[in-house]
Structure 1
């Protein structure tokens, strides 16, 4: 029997499949799929291609226009993302993975919306960028901390959560350091978008698995690939700094 909160996951996946079919048919009928400057700037990777990222931005475009008509500000959306991330972390900590998935998904959508809304309203500034980046770090930590609390009695699982937290912050640090030193940002896998998507998939699968095994597997993927990617980024940044 499917747990009640697992219906959140099924509803989201049915919606995404429906939107994916519409997106695919519109792309074929229109002679191509829509591309976004935001996605081109961030770039895809072997773990998350640009096609999926363009599809995600296309899905939330109507929401951006709705927020614009309602006079919602980007900073308000950013703080909503923080609140949803906190609620998702609490849900994960208590083993409610379906609710955690749904709330984390809404938090991630809010994070996409605030930047798009700022560009639409022509209100993007450095203060908003700093706020958005800071909130992102808090949400990243809270979600993985929620996982750590759930797995707190399992040593290897807890270790994976801690390593995943370390990897995520070191990748963010290399990006910030490169930008501060006006050097090219090192490329690699396990950027925030990729980590977020994989964590969502782990939560979604764990809604049907009470012990959270799919989530644990995803966490170890984040831990290993995240820290390897961070090390490779540091090496590239170090060599670039020495060459400059």
Structure 2
């Protein structure tokens, strides 16, 4: 939701950063890999008990994840391979945060909630990617980008709440789980509408 409706607010910063990185010789795929490394570093910080720093680094990773696509469009080098890297590395970063929190909180109830959350993310992303692959609709991405209640920014907000407020980890995981399920159902209904017209 925030990615779809709030992108214009941060787009100038994303574009300026992209132009700067292109000027110093980096390309979009370089930045995709850097975003992955930064994101994994966020997981390490969370695991080693530095949640605030972990969240700061996670958001830097997320910002770079937006910059790489802008760089590809600015340099006219958008590619299917770049899209695969981008989407795959996003899931690795998210998985890393869940693993770091699971290692710090091996309570069976929390681990079960993490399992449900992971399944809900898989459910939502499967719909998102499948609709993107089969739909004729276009967006600013290299495939149709289905809007929804939880997009990348909402996911980062919820991961941040889980990391920063670990005494209430069960609560924030349940909130995240519900948001993901609602998003998945929302996208499934939209898919039925646009693919059966």
Q: Distance between the aligned counterparts of 2:157 and 2:30, measured in 1?
A: 23
Asked whether the equivalents of residues 120 and 177 of structure 2 are also in contact (C-alpha less than 8 Å), the reply is yes
Asked whether the equivalents of residues 4 and 147 of structure 2 are also in contact (C-alpha less than 8 Å), the reply is no
Residue 226 of structure 1: how far off its partner (Å): 0.7
SS at match of 1:174: helix
SS at match of 2:26: coil
Show the 5 A alignment for 1:26-45. Answer: 44=1
Asked whether the equivalents of residues 42 and 55 of structure 2 are also in contact (C-alpha less than 8 Å), the reply is yes
Q: Distance between the aligned counterparts of 1:120 and 1:235, measured in 2?
A: 34
Asked whether the equivalents of residues 150 and 180 of structure 2 are also in contact (C-alpha less than 8 Å), the reply is yes
How many positions carry a matched residue from both structures?
190
Q: Distance between the aligned counterparts of 2:78 and 2:21, measured in 1?
A: 15
Residue 166 of structure 1: how far off its partner (Å): 1.6
What RMSD, in angstroms, separates the aligned Cα atoms of the two structures?
2.6
Identify the match of residue 141 of structure 1 among 87, 95, 99: 95
SS at match of 1:188: coil
Q: Deviations over 1:145-191 (max 9, x none)?
A: 22222222x22222222222222221111011112332667653112
Q: Is 1:160 aligned with 2:103? A: no
Q: Distance between the aligned counterparts of 1:183 and 1:233, measured in 2?
A: 16
Q: Distance between the aligned counterparts of 2:58 and 2:115, measured in 1?
A: 19
Where structure 2 has 5 or more consecutive residues not aligned to the other structure, the ranges are 138-143
Residue 227 of structure 1: how far off its partner (Å): 2.1
Q: Distance between the aligned counterparts of 1:76 and 1:187, measured in 2?
A: 27
Where structure 1 has 5 or more consecutive residues not aligned to the other structure, the ranges are 1-43
- TM normalised by structure 1 equals 0.67
State the partner residue of 1:8: none
Q: Is 1:103 aligned with 2:57? A: yes
State the partner residue of 2:160: 200
Identify the match of residue 133 of structure 2 among 180, 183, 191: 180
Q: Which entry has the higher C-alpha Rg, 1 or 2?
A: 1
Q: Distance between the aligned counterparts of 1:196 and 1:166, measured in 2?
A: 17
Q: 1:216 to 1:72 in 2, by over 3 A?
A: farther
Q: Distance between the aligned counterparts of 1:197 and 1:174, measured in 2?
A: 22
Q: Which runs of 4+ in 1 moved over 4 A?
A: 183-187, 238-241
Q: Distance between the aligned counterparts of 1:166 and 1:200, measured in 2?
A: 19
Q: Distance between the aligned counterparts of 2:187 and 2:46, measured in 1?
A: 30
State the partner residue of 2:22: 68
